[in-house]
Structure 1
Amino acid sequence: MKRTSDLDRVASAAVRRPPGVVLKGQFTEVLRSAKGKLKGIYLRSDTETYAVKLPKYLRPMLVRELVPGTFVQVWAYFDEEKWRGLNLLPLPEDEAIALQETWQLSTPSPTAAVSAVAALLPTDSVSQSPKPLCVKVCRKGSCFKQGGRKIMQSLAAEIAADPTLQHVSVEGVGCLKACKRGPNLKLSNSKKVITGVTPNKALDLVRKHA
């Protein structure tokens, strides 16, 4: 078969491209250009956060399918001081849970980290520091479709815009065992599962407990 110039360019690019790796972690926020255009994602691992530029054909899924807090895997390579992605897929639920558990074992808990810092600060400073709060939103099928996705998006946007909520994080988790009463969430400072949540109710809960 006769090679076309396009095929030659693709083959040439593949030869020049550095070896790739699979990055696994949590999608925390969208990577944007100085003009606000979608360019890729910030991917948090247990040791650092990567800024990964994605090809144009993958960028629409950042709006349609992914929400901050989703665990993903990105096929990427490092070139010209930047991470460049080739493909992106959500991590299977069991693998995402296993990854979270590994992180919890290998890194100090937020409470422990705050306690360590608190020991070095004057009493007045310690008393003013808010405790970390994690909002755990059910990502299982029906709950997520009934409003879990909107809750995560709404909370992530509000937290990013409000300096007083920077100690609050949002995390997608497995089934909270209340599917028929979803959407459901749980706060890290309580064992209670809160059912029938709306974006506004979720924000009210955060402001009350933050």
Structure 2
Amino acid sequence: MKRTPDLDRVASAQLQRPQGVVLKGQFIDVLRSPKGKIKGVCLQTETATYSIKLPKYLRPVLVRELTPGDFVQVWAYCEAEQWRGINILPLSEPERIDLQENWQARQFVPTSSPNVDTAAVSEASAIAPTEPSASAPKPLCVQVCRKGKCFKQGGRQIMQSLETAIADDPNLQHVSVEGVGCLKACKKGPNIKLSHSKKVISGVTPDNALTIVTKYA
């Protein structure tokens, strides 16, 4: 096969990619920027606390599927003194039990304020413990129709815009987005439905979806 400049660049990039590791531990906090935007995860292992920056497409996982205290594994690599993750998954039940038993055997107790790894991302200095609010907002699930016409006419873009906005706004961390079946208003679509109401909201667009949600959030 004849080599081309593109193939040479790909091969060079593969050779230069930092060697990654799988870090297993407890998700103790969300890594945020100075403006409060979600940037990644703070992971407590037996040896250190890692502040790991995640790509944008993984950040919503921290809101929708994980909660602080969960045991997870993160595929990550260190580059220019920053830890960067490429995937994050919860540990299976047997793995979680094994890890906890190992920690207990070594008399290791996770803490939310250990010594942070020196390769932490720069945002680590901006992390502050989140104080529980006495009037914390109730969870709100935004259901977006994923069927046929609705999804093709903007449902997909609505889901993407909401997920991005939620991941970036610390005041919307109680809001989640879910794709559902037909909401029985196809001619008026795209449609969404909020979990606290039986009312279907029609004519939603990617531009006005966030305004509608924040009105009820």
Report the TM-score when normalising by structure 1: 0.48
| Greater percentage in helix | 1
Tell which has more relative contact order, 1 or 2 (C-alpha 8 A, sep 6+): 2
Report the TM-score when normalising by structure 2: 0.46
